[in-house]
Amino acid sequence: QVQLVESGGGSVQAGGSLRLSCAASEYSSRWYYRGWFRQAPGKEREGVASFNSDGRTSYAESVKGRFTISQDNAKNTLYLQMNSLKPEDTAMYYCAAPVAGRTTRYPLNRYEYIYWGQGTQVTVSS
**From the CB of residue 113, how many other CB atoms can be counted at a distance below 10 Å?**
23
Percent of the chain with pLDDT over 90: 90
User: Is it the case that residue 87 has pLDDT exceeding 80?
Assistant: yes
Which tens digit of pLDDT belongs to each residue from 2-12? 999 999 999 99
State residue 81 phi and psi, 5-degree precision: -85, 125
| Residue 93 bridge partners (DSSP) | 38, 120
d(CA 117, CA 1): 12
d(CA 120, CA 80): 12
User: Is it the case that residue 73 has pLDDT exceeding 80?
Assistant: no
